[in-house]
Chain A
Amino acid sequence: MSRFEIYSPEGLRVDGRRWNELRRFECRINTHPDSSDGSSYVEQGNSKVICIVNGPMEPSSKAEMSTSKATLKISLNVTPFSSIDRKKRSKNERRIQEIVTSLKRTFEQSIIVNKYPRTTISITLHVLALDGGLLSSITNAITLALIDAGIAMYDYISSVSAGFYNNTPLLDLNQLEESDVSFLTIGVVGKSEKLALLLLENKIPLDQLESVLAIAIAGGHRIRDLMDKEVRRHGDLRLSKLANK
């Protein structure tokens, strides 16, 4: 299986990172100010995601309206050109559907939904490039876009993946590592150690789980800070412009 060394004896991974290092994380908010209420663009390593939030707005049909809270609509589009094997992924694919459901349930808890009765918040995601960490990059993108849209949230949800290989936890896996290493993806609430989201699909020894979770939570906090920095940067920019008013 291993055509390459996942974790060298010197402690380096395929892309030269150490075990506890994140990939390059870059994000922008308010990337599509005219077409949406909130938007964001997240690059996590080579994964690139655009998120567009519209709402809270009048629901398109009465059926999806709740009199007590906002309804969330998430649509996830993994573009065919996002991965190496060009393959059309249907929106109805069960894996995609599962991710959408998980995200919906995560953000229903994080958005103060009862502030927006009789409305819909529609979230549209486009995955432009995929190099591992699908769930984590889209979770981060949604958090940023929601904040940009001025939607009330209890706290940030920051997400990152972490794997376990040869007795070493590895933080923020890329596509190559994901195929060989069993990993979990978490969504951390703000600076706490509370997890809104926790998904693990492969085998990890129970006794090692704690160390993997620990590094993942620390990575999540780090990503929260980076997102927070971008939100503040953008906010200050906005304020300086509004000072002209």
Chain B
Amino acid sequence: MDILSVSKGSGFAYEDAEVGSDEDVDILIDEDETRGDDVQLDGSVKTSVVTPGELVTDDPIWMRGHGTYFLGTNTYSSVAGTISRVNRLLSVKPIRGRYEPETGDHIVGRIAEVGQKRWKVDIGAKTHAILMLGSVNLPGGVLRRKSESDELQMRNFLKEGDLLNCEVQSLFQDGSASLHTRSLKYGKLRNGYFISVPSSLIVRAKNHSHSLPGGASVIIGVNGYIWLRKTTEDISQANNTSLSKNATAISAKGQYNVGSGSVSITRLEEESSWEIYSDVNDEISSTLRSTITRYANSIKALAFCEIGISVERIISAYEASMAYEDSGKLVDRETMETIGQQVINGEKYRGQ
């Protein structure tokens, strides 16, 4: 034992010289000891980082949440992240990590597997989510019973690789999600472009589906999957929850009359038809395509700068990107940094 402790203090001069601003070991240990007190004293969430194995607190009053483990009265962190405190619940939020689904999240997913009465959906979480056949709208309205023939033709609705837009209905014991698309704003995605960003960057908002200037619209999935697409009538009316065959068929904007699409809720469900599972894209003009590309690259720039992504910021980044003629230039490192800076500056200027 004595040898073990003796050698600890000596040596490593080489390393000290090399790294220069090296903290001493003792300082780190001191931090460990004081950290627990910090939590209790000010009660606020600490902003500095804890790392795995670090003592968070030795006060037994706390309930231990995610990202922690405990022995006796001591609570230790199991991830590198920040301490979060909700009432008596102490947890450590990892800095990085996969998306953790929560009930009610509006997300974008991709079908990974078609199984018995269910689809497995890749939502960027630890495990695939499950979408039950009973949790989707099928042609013919909500009240329709799901028959065996529906089971057999599940691939006609959604097949491997299809993208969809859905909501987390509930969570299973092991943290995996069960999804549903039982609303007309959910369903298969088409007419657009898929981008994936870290889920931690998504700013949770009331609404995750927005129309953008320039004839595009966006679904910002809470799981970091983003879908950019052409704005069609049904999307622009999404808040009205209207979906009529006529409206979808007529793609030109002006021809749509307010009110003609708003149908009674029962009628509307009958209206939901095979159209919602269509595999054919609408006609998209090349200017709209380049607009979508520009939006996509603006989002990539935001993600590159690790700026939280919200619809306001996407628009702001899009506007900033207008300074560059060629939207292909946007993926340059310097350009992305400039755009990120402009978005931040713009917000400061407006006093947000």
Interface residues in chain A, defined as those with a beta carbon under 8 Å from any beta carbon in chain B: 17-22, 24-25, 30, 33, 37-38, 55-58, 112, 116-119, 147-156, 171, 189-191, 193, 210-211, 213-215, 217-219, 221-222, 225-226, 228-229, 231-232, 234-236, 238-239, 241-242, 244-245
Contacts and interface: CB of A to CB of B under 8 A. Distances in A.
Contact of A56 (B8, B19, B98): B98
Given A58-B112, A193-B4, A242-B200, 6 more contacts: A57-B126, A191-B29, A228-B28, A241-B305, A241-B307, A245-B308
Interface majority SS (helix, strand, loop, mixed), chain B: loop
A55 B98 CA distance: 8
Contacts of B176: 118
Contact of A152 (B3, B18, B79): B79
A235 B78 contact: no
A25 B53 contact: no
B7 A215 contact: yes
Interface core residue of A147, A190, A193, A213 (most chain B CB under 10 Å): A147
Contacts of A56: 98, 126-127
Contacts of A232: 48-49, 51, 80
Nearest to B112: A58
A228 B51 contact: yes
Contacts of A22: 12, 14-15
Interface residues of B, number: 53
A228 B10 CA distance: 20
B10 A226 contact: no
A152 B80 contact: no
Contacts of B95: 150, 234-235, 238-239
Contact of A30 (B11, B22, B49, B96): B96
Given A58-B122, A118-B127, A228-B28, A20 B7 contact: yes
B97 interface: yes
Contacts of B48: 232, 235-236, 239
A226 B19 contact: yes
B114 to A, nearest CB: 15
B45 to A, nearest CB: 11
